[in-house]
Amino acid sequence: MTLAIFDLDNTLLGGDSDHLWGRFLVEQGIVDGEFYEHENNRFYEEYKAGTLDIRAYQRFALAPLVGQEPETLAAWHRRYMDEKIGAILLPASRTLLDWHRAQGHVPLIITATNRFITEPIVASLGVEHFLATEPEVVHGRYTGDITGIPTFQHGKVERLAQWLNETGHNLAGAWFYSDSHNDLPLLEQVENPVAVDPDDTLRSHAEARGWDIITLRRGERPMPLARDEENGE
């Protein structure tokens, strides 16, 4: 069956769930506000520049989870979904997912953001299959580290290859939707790469290669994104 693969942040979502989680922690007084917001913004700029050290970032992002009771973390995440994620769920993303399902395609979300943050978001989109950066859990508690290959840049290609081997799926006719030049390694692997509200680097690459360029940020349906339109945040 044909795979329809999607990035999550700034692709299916109209914002970045990882960055918003950091903002949520600051607003809730869970972390030191000034320091954490500064570091959260610094890492986000490095991500956009393509220079992010994903393991260093994940140690930073996972640190507030260490030592917390599972019930506490679940309560935090419910508030986060209500206060931050509801506003960036895009109707056109659901339309696009439904279109692929109607074609008999298998949706798969693959995101560099860690599983703790993304699993409830992916569930809310009704997507069964997804790959994320995996936090390490020992005796039911987060250690602050990650396990396996982080799903970032070429790591997405490696983790996807593992998943394909485990599940028997393949990339014949596959689609991949992303907003970020960080996903160029995987975009180059599929027959149907699509740039979604892309950053400038990805837009230039997509234009040069003749890839489709769309927006999911206007209305109920995906729409072509004109050359002179700015990428929304």
Active-site residue, 7 included: yes
233: burial class by Cβ within 10 Å (0-12, 13-18, 19+)? Answer: exposed
Amino acid at position 107, single letter:
P
Residue 36 contacts residue 22 (beta carbons within 8 Å)? yes
Phi/psi of residue 7, each to 5°?
Answer: -70, 160
Whole-number Å distance between alpha carbons of 84 and 127: 20
How many Cβ atoms sit within 10 Å of the Cβ of residue 214?
19
Which one from 7, 16, 179, 183 is the annotated catalytic residue?
A: 7
> What residue has token string 């809310």?
124
Residue 45 contacts residue 78 (beta carbons within 8 Å)? no
Sign, Cα dihedral of 174, 175, 178, 184: positive
Active-site residue, 9 included: yes
Return the active site residues.
7, 9
